[in-house]
Each structure stands twice: as structure tokens, then as C-alpha cells.
Amino acid sequence: MRTTRTAAGAAAALLLLAACSGGNQAPAAPASTTEAASATAAAADGELETVTVGVMPIVDTAGIRLGIEEGIFAEHGLQLELTESGQGGAATIPGVVSGQFQFGFSNTPALLAAHSQGLELPIVAPAASSTGVAGEDTAAIVVPADSDIDAAAVLAGRTVAVNTLRSIGDSTVRETVEKDGGDPDAVQFVEIAFPDMLGALAKGQVDAAWVVEPFATIAQQQGNRVLASNYVETDPDLLIAAYFTSAELIESDPELVERFTAALTEAQAFAEANPDRVRAVLGTYMTLEPAIAESLVLPRFKDTTARDDVEFLAEFAHRQGITDTKVDVGSLLP
């Protein structure tokens, strides 16, 4: 069941969205679509409980799509209604706060920013994590092949395209530059939607671009080179994104949250064990050439949220100025 949030909470969420959301993160289907597994179609007689989830049309959400396709959620008595957003990671937060969605998907720094503003949105399951392999990760800083930038530290004083500011992109780029001995405060970030970044890079409008899959693979196929894998440099086990809900829903309908979490855990495990199925499902919700789907780097689809990973994120967000104080990790984990 949905719960009613306060006007103050919704206002805080809208402020967060303004600060953290950005342009489109991947080629996508129309902005709002409803998906249901074929396995659940026959059970549309009311036996399944409809659950609303705000997601994004990006590689990181392949796990939940496979959970629907494989009938995993139906086995737990759930029929998911996914609403797509092409905006940045904070875009689903206002939807959960207002009650539009019961669950949402977001990058983890945006969730930490929400908690720092007093919004209680606990993580219920991980979505995507770094591969931990430099040069073979799901995100990268890329530069033109003939660029004189040969190290992350050299980005100081240069322009770098990111999809949104004060989020996972610019914060991990800053971390990478600092670890390489450069001045992160000297990096000049420019907000550009992912689909437009490579064009801006080719025209010399920016010196480098931070891209996620499938744009990282497309960038390399166009002749650009990977300067650094900023997720890996930040933390090889970086929890990139997660699914969350509201503290109100956990209190009012804990059984629903438990069933959703259990089903999503199974879906994530299935995705991790079946990369070919992940690649196949991408084309069902993204406009993606099959050759790109076959060659892009997949994130790790972990099925449990490690407290250590969230502790690192809390320290990282505070260090990078995403939050004014270190967020209490206990409030992030139900």
C-alpha cells in the first residue's frame, strides 16, 4: 500500500532533484512505460499485487527486468509496474517521497544526499557495482585518441563532461584526479547529457568526458581512448546504484517490502549468473544495436548490500562535499 508523505518532504525531494538530476543516461524508450512479465499476464485476475517502481532505462536496471521476464516477482505474488525516467539518479527520489512509487532506483550518492536532507529512504537491494577491473568497467573517463592528456592528474584545469553535478560522475572523477596527484578543485565540469557527450568531445567543446555504458563502448569504437576507470579508482567494490523505499512503507507494510526484496535478490543473482540473458534483455527497454549490447561491459549485479560498501560511500560522499556531514549508515539499511 502507498503512504502519504508530508509536503515538506516532497519539497525537499524536489530541491534534491534540482541539485542532482541530469540529462538522459542512455538511449531509451518513451519516458513512461509499464512492463509486466508474460508469466504474470495470465494471473491478471487480481491474485498478484501491483507494485510501483521508478527506474531508469540503463544497463544497471537489467536485473529487475530479468526478474519480471523470468517470473521471479510473480512467484512472490507481485506484478511490477515500472515507470521510466530518463533523468539522472535523483529523479525517482521525489516519486518515492510523494507516494507515486513504492520503490525506486537511484545512484548511491544521490541517496546519500537525500538522507543528508532528512529524507528516510532505506536501501532494500543493490542494483549495480563496479567490476573492479581498470579499463574494463561500466564507466570511464575518455579523451580523444590524439589528446595530450595522458593521466588523470592532467585533468586539472581542463573541462570534463558529466551528466549532472554533485553526483556519482563528478565526485568519482574528482576522487580519481586527486588519487593521481592532481588538484580536483581545478577540474572544470560541464553538464551534458550522455547522448550528446561524444559529439561535444569530437568538436573540442570539452577535453574529456565521463561516460557510462553503452556510451563507454561507443566512445572507444569511435576511436577515443580510456584515460581512467573512475569507479575502480574510487573503490573496486563501489556500489554504483541501489533500489530503495520509504521508511513509511517499511513501517506500514513490512511484508510487502520483504517480498519485494526477496524477489529482487533472486533477480539480481539470476542476472549475475546469466550475462547472456542480461545482454538480450537490454534491447527490450533501450534503443541499442545488438553489436553494442554484445560488447559492452556489464556491471556486477550483487544480490546483497554489504554494510562496508555503504560505510565507504558515506565517508566518500562527505569527503567530496555531497553531504555536509557523514550520513548514519544505520538509517540507510532497513
Is the residue at 275 inside a domain?
A: yes
CA 184/CA 290 separation, integer angstroms? 37
Residues 90 and 17: beta-carbon distance below 8 Å: yes
Convert 178-210 into a string of H (helix), E (strand) and C (coil).
HHCCCCHHHCEEEECCHHHHHHHHHCCCCCEEE
Residues 265 and 125: beta-carbon distance below 8 Å: yes
For residue 158, count other CB atoms closer than 10 A to its CB: 18
With residue 240 as reference, give the H or E element that holds it: strand 239-245
Last residue of a domain, one of 191, 210, 234: 234
Last residue of a domain, one of 219, 234, 249: 234
Half-sphere exposure of 44 (CA within 13 A, CB side): 8
CA 236/CA 251 separation, integer angstroms? 34
Comparing CA positions, the residue from 29, 232, 244, 25 lying closest to residue 127 is: 244
Q: Both 13 and 126 in a single domain?
A: yes
pLDDT of the chain along its 334 residues, tens only?
333 333 444 444 433 443 344 444 444 443 334 443 333 443 445 589 999 999 988 899 999 999 999 999 999 999 999 998 765 556 789 999 999 999 999 999 989 999 999 999 999 999 999 999 999 999 999 999 999 999 999 999 999 999 888 889 999 999 999 999 999 999 999 999 998 999 999 999 999 999 999 999 999 999 999 999 999 999 999 999 999 999 999 999 999 999 999 999 999 999 999 999 999 999 999 999 999 999 999 999 999 999 999 999 999 999 999 999 999 898 888 7
Q: Both 314 and 189 in a single domain?
A: no
Q: Both 195 and 263 in a single domain?
A: no
Helices (H), the chain: 7-20, 38-41, 62-69, 72-75, 93-98, 108-116, 168-179, 194-202, 215-221, 230-234, 247-252, 254-273, 275-282, 290-295, 307-319
Q: What is the pLDDT of residue 165?
A: 86
* Residue 77 lies in domain: 7-130+237-331
Q: Both 97 and 224 in a single domain?
A: no
Q: Both 45 and 21 in a single domain?
A: yes
Residues 101 and 92: beta-carbon distance below 8 Å: yes
Is the residue at 2 inside a domain?
A: no
Is the residue at 325 inside a domain?
A: yes
CATH number, domain containing residue 273: 3.40.190.10
Last residue of a domain, one of 215, 234, 253: 234
Is the residue at 157 inside a domain?
A: yes
Is the residue at 296 inside a domain?
A: yes
Q: Both 11 and 104 in a single domain?
A: yes
Is the residue at 1 inside a domain?
A: no
Is the residue at 76 inside a domain?
A: yes
Return the C-alpha cell found at 209.
568526458
Is the residue at 312 inside a domain?
A: yes
Q: Both 113 and 188 in a single domain?
A: no
Q: Both 211 and 323 in a single domain?
A: no
**Structure pTM?**
0.84
Q: Both 63 and 196 in a single domain?
A: no
Q: Both 259 and 150 in a single domain?
A: no
Q: What is the pLDDT of residue 132?
A: 97
Q: How many domains does the chain have?
A: 2
Give Rg (Cα) of the chain. Answer: 19
Q: What is the pLDDT of residue 21?
A: 40
CA 167/CA 171 separation, integer angstroms? 6
DSSP-assigned beta bridge partners for residue 239: 129
Longest dimension (CA), the chain: 63
Sheet holding 49-55, edge to edge: 78-84, 49-55, 103-107, 239-245, 123-129
Q: Both 286 and 150 in a single domain?
A: no
Return the C-alpha cell found at 45.
485476475
Q: Both 190 and 278 in a single domain?
A: no
Comparing CA positions, the residue from 164, 162, 234, 153 lying closest to residue 186 is: 153
